[in-house]
Structure 1
Amino acid sequence: MQLRKTFFVGLISVALLGGCSWFSGEEDVVTMSPLPKVENQFQPTQVWNRSVGNGTGEFYSNLRPAWQDNRAFAADRHGIVKALDIDTGKEIWSVDLSEKTGFLSRNLPALLSGGLAVANGHVFVGSEKAQIYALNAEDGTVAWQSKVAGEALSTPVVSDGLVLVHTSNGMLQGLNETDGAVKWTVNLDMPPLTLRGESAPTPAFGAAIVGGDNGRVSAVMMAQGQLIWQQRISQPSGATEIARLGDVNMTPVVANNVVYALAYNGNLAALDLRSGQIIWKREIGSVNDLIVEGGRIYLVDQDDRLIALDTQGGVTLWRQSELLHRNLTSPVLFAGYMVVGDSEGYLHWINTDDGRFVAQQKVDSSGLQSNPVVAGGKLLVQANNGEVYAFTR
């Protein structure tokens, strides 16, 4: 098996923040911005909170809640998965996917990693052990379990009768939604050094649009698993190995037949959905998911600047730079505001018109790493210690 040098995004951040000189003889000391002072224009209301196992701890993970109808679903890295009432946080069911073993009466952790998805009466989650689980949403029983090509670090995506999984070794696989059987595999190629994490595919008109560790965005026909087009949006350059990383780890966004994608150390690009040709691009890099809404693009760049751009040409509308290097989550739009979390456990609420702060709140001292989730009229946030919170405006 080929040895793959893989780095946690969080580990790279620590290296950069601490001035580590693994990749060069120079010391670049980058410090986290102090918490900005914000006069709250309103106070977000915490509706409930509920513990879901031990969370992710110090590990980099994409685990985050999912929801459907009146239920929220959340998991921890060990293997605990819970269904919670969306209004009260009351536990409806709980299952443990860790492996039973007689050795010292301890269970081997399932190492859940890929985030949760819920569709058609099932909850889907992947693991670092290359397993995909489909649970019955009603009671948490396992409907099926399937082996995939590598670590399932991205969130499974359900579309057209398939469960799409992008694995850590650069494989995009389509699994039968009914029984988990692998129907096809596409090799997206990958360089020897990559960031830890993979792009979740976006279904659009029978195709799956997905980012790759090689700096390309690919379109794959879901029915046959055939590659339609590929487009590079990041060209390796720079004096250090970190500077040459160009992974497209975010989930591409498709709006009005345009694909919007973002690469680490690369570009924000708008691509034609049918051909993959570049319509325009801007020199902005990130691993975070972005938002396209109302003719605007909202994103967090790799230095944790909040940026709003116009979809027509990528013109910058505003930029907020008071949260530099606070290891922000991807942004979400909730109750008319842009919301991000940070590694110190704060939620920041930003005016989408001009980028000004309108509210700030401390959620959990263990820190926030996974993306907030908009669940109807509530905002779900999972802290690193596994605590899940629900807020309203």
Structure 2
Amino acid sequence: MNAACWIRSGFWLGAALALLAGCASKDTLPPAPLQVIKPQIAGRQVWQARLSDKVGFPLALVATKDRFFAADGGGTVLALDAANGHEVWHTRVGDDLSAGVGSDGRWTSVVTRRNELVTLEQGTERWRAKLGVRVVTAPLVAGERVFVVGVDRSVQAFDAQDGRLLWVMRRPGDALTLAQASVLTAYKDTLLVGQGNRLMGLDPLKGAVRWEATVALPRGTNEIERLSDLIGPSARVGSVFCVRAYQTAVGCVDAASATTTWNTSTTGTAGVAADEDKVYATDAADRVTARRRADGVSLWSNERLLNRRLTAPLVVGTAVVFGDLEGQIHFLSRSNGDILLRLPTDGSAIVGTPVLSGTTVLVATHDGGLFAFRPE
């Protein structure tokens, strides 16, 4: 769902976080009616599974070479065989979740509403740790470590095997921050994390700052209008990471040279996708736009899905894929934006970003449905 909340944070002054406002969304605007289309590519649902509860948090599905990992709001975490949807393992962590799921295939981590980081090994809980901060971004599990970014922009690193806290990175920042999933990923031996309007490169062993690159320049006359936090997921092509800054800009950063290659002003609250040639994103009205990855020049746009609360996109073969508020999966042509195919789920909103394992696309719905598709 395209929704974002903002948080008043005094964490770095020693005060508690306080929620000051609700979410901004397009709920009051009528979604564009779906037009009849003639499928231009083949695709079908190949399996379906269910979570135990509805998904009321920023769900992040994770795919490895042969498995999907998912979690629901009630605390159920499961691993599924990507080929056929068969359950590999599932467990309940005993508390509602605020963020999840992160996995490297062996270790799988989620965050509870009590601000506990819970890490499982093949479905068995190994440890949990108090975070002391609210988290809405899925943990990153990489290099035998679990990384967590809080809504106050602090970053914590834990040993994946025993939960030992390795380091914490906190920097003074703005009083107002965004309670929406941020950027948390890796490039070679550098941890990449969103810090307000900047993408920052950290040493994953010590938490020291190696570099930072500005993606957007805040604008506006008050704190709310100047919010421009980076939003996940980011899109990687080689050493280049393209990202969204909340309601402000889309831009690309070369992590090898620690430089911003381009940015362009645009509204929007969802992450982006990219391929060798283009960056795909929606704006605040759910207009889909493809920009040239080299310099950000607009190449095409599609206005047939306005106000349908589109998810962040996923590049699959010749298509770029979005989910919407009615559980529809839209496959748009990467070359010109035409709608190639539309496939239904259970009628509830698609939650989080679609993910890919091999040729299988997995989406999750608000009502707890997991639907796997294969375009052909």
Q: Distance in 2 between matches of 1:43 and 1:205?
A: 37
Q: Of residues 97, 110, 123 in structure 2, which corresponds to 1:112?
A: 97
Q: Cα offset for 1:363?
A: 1.2
Q: Distance in 2 between matches of 1:205 and 1:170?
A: 22
Q: Distance in 1 between matches of 2:353 and 2:58?
A: 8
Aligned twin of 2:40? 41
Q: Cα offset for 1:78?
A: 0.8
Q: Tell me which amino acid in the other structure corresponds to 1:131.
A: E
Aligned twin of 2:287? 305
- The answer on whether the counterparts of 1:174 and 1:185 sit within 8 Å (CA) in structure 2 is yes
Q: Distance in 2 between matches of 1:348 and 1:250?
A: 20
Deviations 1:206-251 (A, max 9, x none): 2112112x32221211121011223333333335664332121224
Kindly indicate whether residue 343 of structure 2 is the aligned counterpart of residue 347 of structure 1. no
- The answer on whether the counterparts of 1:258 and 1:272 sit within 8 Å (CA) in structure 2 is yes
Using the aligned pairs only, state the percent identity: 26
Q: Of residues 163, 182, 207 in structure 2, which corresponds to 1:225?
A: 207
Q: Of residues 139, 150, 157 in structure 1, which corresponds to 2:133?
A: 150
Q: Tell me which amino acid in the other structure corresponds to 2:83.
A: D
Deviations 1:75-99 (A, max 9, x none): 111111223333332333321111x
3-state DSSP class of the match of 1:370?
Answer: strand
Q: 1:278 to 1:86 in 2, by over 3 A?
A: closer
Aligned twin of 1:195? 178
Aligned twin of 1:315? 297
Q: Distance in 1 between matches of 2:329 and 2:124?
A: 34
Q: Distance in 1 between matches of 2:235 and 2:214?
A: 16
> Size of the alignment, in residue pairs?
361
Q: Distance in 2 between matches of 1:388 and 1:217?
A: 32
Q: Of residues 182, 187, 192 in structure 1, which corresponds to 2:165?
A: 182
Aligned twin of 2:111? 126
Aligned twin of 1:105? none
Q: 1:176 to 1:75 in 2, by over 3 A?
A: same
- The answer on whether the counterparts of 2:151 and 2:177 sit within 8 Å (CA) in structure 1 is no
Q: Distance in 1 between matches of 2:206 and 2:345?
A: 45
Aligned twin of 2:252? 270
Kindly indicate whether residue 88 of structure 2 is the aligned counterpart of residue 92 of structure 1. yes
Aligned twin of 1:289? 271
Aligned twin of 1:204? 187
Aligned twin of 2:152? 169
Q: Tell me which amino acid in the other structure corresponds to 2:270.
A: N
The structure number with the bigger radius of gyration is: 1
Q: Of residues 53, 61, 67 in structure 1, which corresponds to 2:63?
A: 67
3-state DSSP class of the match of 2:24?
Answer: helix
Question: Of the two structures, which has the highest relative contact order with CA contacts closer than 8 Å and spacing of 6 or more?
Answer: 2
Deviations 1:150-209 (A, max 9, x none): 223112112233211111221111111221211111124443333322313221132112
- The answer on whether the counterparts of 1:229 and 1:275 sit within 8 Å (CA) in structure 2 is no
List runs of 5+ in structure 1 lacking aligned partners.
Answer: 19-29, 99-109
Runs of 4 or more above 6 Å deviation = none
Deviations 1:107-160 (A, max 9, x none): xxx2223222222522222233222222122xx111221222422311211223
Q: Cα offset for 1:275?
A: 5.5
Q: Distance in 2 between matches of 1:189 and 1:31?
A: 40
Q: Distance in 1 between matches of 2:77 and 2:45?
A: 22
Deviations 1:290-345 (A, max 9, x none): 22212321222333221111122111111112212211111001232111001111
Q: Of residues 360, 371, 386 in structure 1, which corresponds to 2:353?
A: 371
Aligned twin of 2:16? 2
Kindly indicate whether residue 306 of structure 2 is the aligned counterpart of residue 324 of structure 1. yes
Q: 1:257 to 1:42 in 2, by over 3 A?
A: closer
- Normalised by the length of structure 1, the TM-score is 0.84
Deviations 1:35-59 (A, max 9, x none): 2332222452111211111122xx3
Q: Cα offset for 1:7?
A: 4.9
Q: 1:186 to 1:262 in 2, by over 3 A?
A: same
Q: Distance in 2 between matches of 1:69 and 1:355?
A: 29
Aligned twin of 2:4? none
3-state DSSP class of the match of 2:84?
Answer: coil
Q: 1:43 to 1:311 in 2, by over 3 A?
A: closer
3-state DSSP class of the match of 2:351?
Answer: coil
Aligned CA RMSD, in angstroms, stands at 2.3
Mean Cα deviation higher: 340-349 or 171-180: 171-180
3-state DSSP class of the match of 1:12?
Answer: coil
